[in-house]
């Protein structure tokens, strides 16, 4: 009987223990469910806030953009939170700026490294293309001079040189000239071929760069970014000013000093714009030697003052060519400024600024138009 009683006692203990385990599991499940529900509601609230902000700022709902705005709404990245808060306080955030924030605060190290390599490659191709263009021009000039030297030899017929002198010069010139002509011809063919290949490579890079936002040569935002941001500004009905700038006599600068000097001038002018960027401004390479700046919520009078300040800085620039020590200090730029209270078509705003820029050119360059406000 004791044995049976012992067994019954053991059974009762086991059952009680199992019940306790079940009760603990039920409580844990209920608690987990409650926590999960709370976490879900929290995530849903952050999602709603992020999407509302993206819609308000006209940001496409792509994964990269979403990661920026979710991190901002979640306050999980303090540096991003501070920078984006400042941007929103001064106006609204453009799609281009959102991409920059992703690159700066969210993108992995491998993504950043890849972008750096791509920019270095693009810059190298641009510089190499300019160098080959200049070398080709120099080769053509040398060939012209060589032909002129042959023409001078014909003057020996007038008796200005003795026969011995003529024969000596002729033999030497013919010997050297034939060799140089052959070398120049081969070199010219090689340069032409290399220039064609690099031109094709530049075209491929331009196709690849369509999804990028930055111009490789100047570090300014590119034309695609300008079109996107200008459209966003006009659609938002927010007031802004537009500065259009064109480097004066840029073709003459290239023809006189070479494309490398022209590229350096473009980079230096671009640096003046970049250093004048604020949270509510952005600068773009509009095309060729033209640069644009969009200034959110900035009156046209203030935009004109900024443009004139940049103009004065540009006219003081001096380019020093390391290889030759040559100094170039005649770089100037003309500016056109326009503004809108919002709602105008993008092309109308650009046209207004362009008209002021053309007027600055017509009046003698190196000035900002309108003259006064």
Q: Which residues are catalytic?
A: 289
Phi-psi category of residue 175: left, alpha or beta, with phi > 0 → left and psi -120 to 50 → alpha:
alpha
Q: Give the span between the Cα atoms of 102 and 108, in whole angstroms.
A: 10
* Residue 78 CB burial class (10 angstroms; 0-12, 13-18, ≥19): exposed
Rounded to 10 degrees, what is the CA torsion of 154, 157, 160, 163?
100
C-alpha dist (Å) from residue 229 to 97, 184, 335:
9, 49, 20
Q: Which residues pair with 335 in a beta bridge?
A: 245, 368
- Residues 6 or more apart whose CB falls under 8 angstroms from that of 155 comprise 161
Q: Which of 297, 289, 312, 305 is nearest to 337 (CA)?
A: 305
CB-based contact 270:285 (threshold 8 Å): yes
- How is 2-61 classified by DSSP, letter by letter? HHHHHHHHHHHHHHHHHHHHHHHHHHHHHHHHHHHHHHHHHHHHHHHHHHHHHHHTT---
- Grouping H, G, I as helix, E, B as strand and the rest as coil, residue 186 is helix
Q: Which of 333, 287, 299, 293 is nearest to 313 (CA)?
A: 333
CB-based contact 73:53 (threshold 8 Å): yes
Residue 224 gets which letter from DSSP? Answer: H
Q: Which residues pair with 214 in a beta bridge?
A: 221
Q: Give the span between the Cα atoms of 137 and 354, in whole angstroms.
A: 33
- Residues 6 or more apart whose CB falls under 8 angstroms from that of 294 comprise 226, 229, 230, 233, 240, 241, 242, 281, 282, 284
C-alpha dist (Å) from residue 120 to 106, 197, 210, 219, 336:
22, 18, 17, 11, 32
């Amino acid at each position: 009987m004791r044995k049976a009683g012992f067994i019954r006692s053991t059974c009762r203990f086991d059952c009680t223990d199992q019940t306790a385990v079940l009760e603990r599991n039920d409580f844990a499940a209920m608690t987990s469910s409650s926590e999960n529900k709370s976490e879900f509601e929290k995530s849903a609230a952050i999602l709603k806030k992020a999407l509302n902000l993206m819609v308000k700022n006209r940001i496409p709902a792509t994964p990269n953009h979403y990661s920026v705005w979710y991190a901002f709404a979640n306050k999980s990245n303090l540096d991003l939170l501070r920078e984006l808060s400042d941007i929103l306080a001064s106006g609204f955030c453009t799609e281009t700026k959102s991409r920059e924030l992703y690159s700066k605060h969210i993108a992995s190290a491998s993504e950043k490294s890849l972008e750096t390599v791509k920019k270095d490659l693009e810059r190298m191709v641009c510089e190499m293309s300019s160098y080959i263009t200049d070398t080709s021009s120099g080769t053509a000039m040398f060939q012209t001079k060589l032909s002129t030297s042959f023409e001078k030899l014909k003057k020996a017929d007038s008796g200005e040189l003795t026969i011995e002198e003529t024969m000596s010069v002729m033999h030497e010139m013919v010997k050297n000239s034939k060799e140089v002509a052959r070398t120049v011809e081969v070199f010219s063919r090689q340069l032409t071929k290399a220039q064609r290949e690099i031109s094709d490579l530049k075209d491929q890079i331009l196709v690849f760069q369509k999804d990028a936002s930055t111009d490789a040569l100047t570090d300014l935002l590119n034309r695609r970014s300008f079109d996107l941001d200008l459209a966003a500004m006009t659609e938002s009905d927010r007031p802004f000013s537009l500065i259009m700038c064109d480097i004066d006599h840029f073709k003459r600068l290239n023809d006189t000093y070479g494309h490398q000097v022209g590229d350096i001038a473009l980079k230096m002018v671009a640096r003046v714009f970049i250093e004048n960027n604020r949270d509510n401004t952005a600068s773009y390479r509009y095309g060729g030697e033209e640069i644009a700046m969009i200034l959110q919520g900035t009156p046209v009078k203030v935009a004109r003052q900024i443009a004139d300040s940049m103009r004065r800085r540009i006219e003081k620039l001096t380019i020093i060519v390391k290889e030759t020590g040559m100094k170039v200090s005649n770089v100037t730029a003309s500016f056109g400024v326009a503004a809108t209270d919002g709602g105008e078509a993008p092309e109308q705003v650009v046209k207004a600024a362009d008209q002021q820029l053309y007027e600055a050119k017509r009046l003698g360059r190196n000035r900002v138009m309108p003259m006064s406000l």
